[in-house]
Amino acid sequence: MTDFQKRKKNRLSDYDYSRAGAYFVTICVLPRKNIFWDAGEVARLQNEPPPDALGRGAIHPEDVPLSAAGKIVQTAIRSASDHYDDVEIEHYCIMPDHVHLLILFYGDLFGKNTCPPISTVVGSLKRWVSKQLGYSVWQKSFYDRVIRSEKEHDKVAMYIEYNPLRWQIDHGDNSDWDC
């Protein structure tokens, strides 16, 4: 009998993922297809000069050229706090084939966990997007990291902020766009 490779656990054992704190989450498209950015706008960006050393000419998270699917994802992210009282998506970035989120969970005044587990929040977002699109675009799971300090929080926020710029630099002359 063949032994199947067991999936690597990507959660901390004995950690309560509904407790107050900050979480860095990445959700990827299956099979990493570029569907969240508008292909025509991306082609235009690829023909422009790359951003300079000061970042002039760079696209920012709020200015990424979203496709119809990307706009659905954006709506889901922006409305997440409407569905969960003690959950806030503080920063996010929609990339062509993945999404980054910096999610804050708040507890009540007495330290009780009043938030759903992070898997519930992410699962709801993925299901809503899939329902709006009429099919699922997501990989099975998601990557998360528990943010343990203010310095790490700031580093993650900066990573999210500059991710479109890194993409723009890395893909400025790329002709393998597959929308």
pTM value surpassing 0.85: no
**CA of 77: how far to CAs of 44, 72, 83, 147, 166, in Å?**
26, 9, 11, 19, 22
- In the predicted structure, residue 124 carries a pLDDT above the cut 90: yes
Kindly report, residue by residue over 83-94, the tens digit of the pLDDT. Answer: 888 899 999 999
90 versus 170: which is more confidently predicted?
Answer: 90
* 93 sits in which H/E element: strand 87-94
Domains of the chain: 21-171 (3.30.70.1290)
102 closest CA partner among 27, 173, 8: 27
**Confidence class of residue 166 from pLDDT cuts 50, 70 and 90?**
confident
Where does the pLDDT of residue 179 fall: very low under 50, low under 70, confident under 90, or very high at 90 and above?
very low
| pLDDT tens by residue, 2-56 | 555 555 555 556 655 566 789 999 999 988 788 999 888 777 766 776 666 666 6
